[in-house]
């Protein structure tokens, strides 16, 4: 082949490569790569890479490597981070309407919660994010939250009374937990293991997948299956990335996020089915006969506040979804 043709071929190849340049997306989440957040994030990223023919790839930052969930959401707004797979814990500080789904004992079970999030109510909430500088691609899932502590079994609210419990930075949760007699201490997730280890707080509450992944059995003796809150999660994207996407790529990202959320829910199911036995084997004492009606009855006053804040009809709309 003549030199001129060689040079032309090389230029074409290089030029072609430039057109298919790869953008690396930084995605963060709170727990380990093999956790529910890791599984959901990986499926999402794999689907995006496939759907964009490799033009978009992820760089993963598990274990709160990029900070707490609130910090990561702020970074999404600033455009210094591309994606976060986060619980709704701190989200209400950015999109107040989302706080309604954090109400204790609002959801009957996983089927009910997933139907609400995937239906008009949940989808309408996703539409509230762009005006606050965040793109909410899809609901993923953290799970039903249970209480752990280092002091005693918790069967009814009187057992929880006086315990210093770490909570998320979430007023809806804290108002509810105060009614249980708990002393709520809001704290970012990355500080939690150390606080439990040093006894700065007596306990915390989180879904089984988080308790497992964060190895809380090393620093907590008692697990009570209170299931007092359903903790939704979200795949959030920076508008800095979204606004550069073609319509076709936007569709790829949205479909990929739905698949990631579905995979995350499967992992939550698995952890719910196998995780409690694992935690018992790791030495935790598990209370299964929690007096949930007593906890629900204790929420009478906070529910009056929730009705004022969110509208009794809106709360009932969620409760009535079958
Ligand atoms: O999203 O802060 C929390 O307790 C969250 O459940 C945890 O970060 C996983």
Residue 228 φ/ψ region, left for φ over 0, alpha for ψ in the -120 to 50 degree band, beta for the rest = alpha
> Is 4 within the bounds of a domain?
no
Return phi, psi of residue 166, to 5°.
-70, 135
Q: Which atom of ligand 1 is nearest to the CA of 68?
A: 8
Residue pLDDT, tens place only, 174-194: 999 999 999 999 999 999 999
CA distance 207 to 314: 25
Residue pLDDT, tens place only, 95-129: 999 999 999 999 999 999 999 999 999 999 999 99
What is the reported pTM? 0.94
Whether residue 17 is predicted with pLDDT greater than 60 in this model: the reply is no
Q: Please report which confidence band the pLDDT of residue 3 belongs to, taking 50, 70 and 90 as the band edges.
A: low
Q: Please report which confidence band the pLDDT of residue 15 belongs to, taking 50, 70 and 90 as the band edges.
A: low
Q: What average pLDDT is seen over the chain? A: 96
> Is 16 within the bounds of a domain?
no
Query: Is the beta carbon of 69 within 6 A of some atom in ligand 1?
Result: yes
Query: Is the beta carbon of 210 within 6 A of some atom in ligand 1?
Result: yes
Distance 206 CA to ligand 1 centre (A): 7
Distance 14 CA to ligand 1 centre (A): 45
Can you give the residue range of the structural domain that contains 277?
21-319
Residue pLDDT, tens place only, 125-151: 999 999 999 999 999 999 999 999 999
The secondary structure of 106-136 as a DSSP string is --SSHHHHHHHHHSHHHHHHHTTSGGGT-EE
Whether residue 209 is predicted with pLDDT greater than 80 in this model: the reply is yes
Alpha helix (H) ranges present in the chain? 3-19, 36-51, 69-78, 110-118, 120-126, 157-160, 171-179, 192-198, 208-213, 239-242, 247-281, 292-297, 300-310, 312-320
**Residues 6+ positions from 110 with CB-CB distance below 8 Å:** 144, 230, 265, 268, 269, 272
Ligand 1 mutation pick, 88, 229, 231, max ligand atoms within 8 A of CB: 231
154, 16, 171: which is closest to 91 by C-alpha? Answer: 171
Q: Which atom of ligand 1 is nearest to the CA of 31?
A: 9
> Is 7 within the bounds of a domain?
no
β pairing state of 285-287 and 222-237:
parallel
Residue pLDDT, tens place only, 294-311: 999 999 999 999 999 999
Q: Which long-range CB contacts under 8 A does 306-309 form with residues at least 24 apart?
A: 306/100, 306/103, 306/172, 306/175, 309/99
> Is 3 within the bounds of a domain?
no
> Is 256 within the bounds of a domain?
yes
Which amino acid residue places its CA nearest to atom 3 of ligand 1? 189
Q: Which atom of ligand 1 is nearest to the CA of 188?
A: 2
162, 167, 144, 142: which is closest to 152 by C-alpha? Answer: 162
Residue pLDDT, tens place only, 217-269: 999 999 999 999 999 999 999 999 999 999 999 999 999 999 999 999 999 99
Whether residue 173 is predicted with pLDDT greater than 90 in this model: the reply is yes
> Is 6 within the bounds of a domain?
no
> Is 1 within the bounds of a domain?
no
* % of the chain residues with pLDDT over 70: 94
Domain of 31, CATH number, reads 3.40.190.170
Number of domains in the chain: 1
The pLDDT, as a whole number, for residue 11 is 56
Q: Please report which confidence band the pLDDT of residue 5 belongs to, taking 50, 70 and 90 as the band edges.
A: low
CA distance 27 to 46: 13
147, 43, 128: which is closest to 85 by C-alpha? Answer: 43
Q: Please report which confidence band the pLDDT of residue 13 belongs to, taking 50, 70 and 90 as the band edges.
A: low
> Is 14 within the bounds of a domain?
no
CA distance 117 to 258: 12
């Amino acid at each position: 082949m003549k030199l001129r043709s060689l040079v032309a071929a090389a230029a074409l190849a290089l030029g072609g490569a430039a057109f298919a340049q790869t953008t690396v997306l930084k995605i963060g989440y709170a727990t380990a790569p093999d956790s529910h957040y890791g599984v959901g994030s990986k499926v999402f990223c794999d689907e995006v890479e496939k759907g964009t023919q490799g033009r978009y790839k992820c760089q993963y930052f598990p274990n709160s490597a990029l900070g707490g969930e609130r910090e990561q959401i702020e970074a999404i707004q600033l455009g210094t981070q591309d994606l976060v797979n986060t619980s709704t814990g701190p989200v209400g500080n950015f999109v107040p309407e989302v706080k309604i789904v954090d109400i204790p004992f609002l959801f009957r079970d996983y089927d009910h919660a997933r139907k609400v999030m995937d239906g008009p109510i949940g989808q309408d909430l996703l539409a509230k994010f762009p005006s606050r500088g965040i793109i909410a691609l899809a609901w993923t899932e953290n799970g039903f939250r249970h209480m752990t502590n280092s002091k005693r079994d918790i069967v009814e609210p009187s057992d929880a009374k006086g315990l210093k419990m770490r909570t998320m930075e979430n007023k809806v949760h804290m108002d509810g937990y105060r009614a249980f007699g708990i002393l709520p201490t809001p704290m970012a997730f990355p500080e939690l293991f150390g606080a439990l280890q040093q006894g700065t707080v007596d306990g915390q509450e989180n879904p089984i997948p988080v308790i497992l992944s964060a190895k809380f059995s090393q620093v907590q003796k008692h697990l009570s299956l209170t299931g007092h809150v359903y903790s939704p999660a979200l795949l959030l994207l920076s508008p800095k990335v979204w606004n550069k996407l073609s319509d076709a790529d936007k569709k790829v990202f949205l479909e990929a996020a739905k698949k990631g959320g579905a995979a995350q829910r499967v992992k939550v199911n698995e952890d719910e089915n196998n995780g409690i036995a694992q935690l018992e084997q790791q030495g935790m004492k598990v209370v299964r006969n929690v007096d949930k009606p007593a906890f629900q009855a204790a929420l009478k006053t906070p529910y009056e506040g929730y009705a004022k804040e969110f509208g009794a009809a809106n709360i009932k709309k969620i409760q009535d979804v079958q």
